[in-house]
Amino acid sequence: MTDYIRQYPLAGEDSPFDLKKSGGFTDIHCHCLPGLDDGPSTLAESLELCRMLAAEGMATVVATPHQLGRFEGSNEAATVRQAVADLTASLAEHDIPLEILPGAEVRVDERICELLEADRILTLADDGRYILLELPHEVFIDVEPLLAELSSMGLESIIAHAERIATRIARPSVLAGWLEHSTHLQVTASSLSGDWGPELRRGAFGLLAAGWATLVASDSHDTGLRRPRMRAAFECISAELGQEAAHLVCIENPSRVMRRRDLLPASVCGQKEAD
Ligand SMILES: [Fe+2]
């Protein structure tokens, strides 16, 4: 274990925070559907991941298989909706208490607006308000024109794992410019917990502390290396920025995405409450 990963106790009986009372986590970015992308290959693996998500304290998960990019031509909206219905039936059969909603992680592409209108790609919770966008990791693309176009259609964009972009560009403040186009930044729980090293951890915390990132999600793919780490992230944010900030970005705002409501600003994230 490297020394940059500080260890925090998980929320449990001794913790002042009661996750159950808060209604549990909502995960707005998760690869839990079997056989569609680089998430679980089989239904058994998918159920194993869902069991872990439920044990982690997730109440609702938006399934976000990749669309477009290397998954061009597969995972169209109707396929994803059917996969969610099938997994929901299997969860009930296996007594796994988890609600799954349809969604997608959509690779940025100039055709996104027309594909949305043709009902071929999905918004989060399939309700037409928030869309989760994936940018390439290798090169930086300024997606401001796309964000403006989506905003003019009444959609709000959420940039997936924004810490990966922020740590690769010379001026991370360019991301703040995107926020003017009804855009929100999501950081990944396992980056905050330090699983991917100090640079991504610093990047993710930097975006939260600046108030630019307002959402945390698991982006989990399996029960191994890419497992859900929401509880660990919640504890890390509580320790660094205060429990109010952790509640806002891990619980309140993700549940607002699911309920089609406005997100709250993360102004509290820079100020840790008094101990
Ligand atoms: Fe993802």
Q: 29-84: per-residue pLDDT in tens?
A: 999 999 999 999 999 999 999 999 999 999 999 999 999 999 998 999 999 999 99
The dotted CATH code for 25-265 is 3.20.20.140
Ligand 1: centre distance to CA 109 (Å): 16
Tell me how far the alpha carbon of residue 37 lies from the centroid of ligand 1, in angstroms: 10
How far is the centre of ligand 1, averaged over its atoms, from the C-alpha of 13 (Å)?
A: 32
pLDDT confidence tier of residue 6, bands split at 50, 70 and 90: very low
| For residue 245, pLDDT beyond 90 | yes
pLDDT at 275 over 70: no
CA of 8 from ligand 1 middle (Å) equals 25
Q: Which residues have CB less than 5 Å away from ligand 1 (the ion)?
A: 105, 219
Residue range 158-204, pLDDT digits in tens: 999 999 998 888 788 888 889 999 999 999 999 999 999 999 999 99
Å from CA of 134 to ligand 1 middle:
8
Residues 6+ apart with CB under 8 A from 238: 8, 17, 245, 246
CA of 105 to the centre of ligand 1 (A): 6
C-alpha span between 214 and 245 (Å, rounded): 9
105-107 and 156-159 strand pairing: unpaired
DSSP label of 129: S
* CA 81–ligand 1 middle distance (angstroms): 18
Domain extent listing, the chain: 25-265
31 CA to middle of ligand 1, Å?
7
- Give the separation between CA 97 and CA 246, rounded to whole angstroms: 24
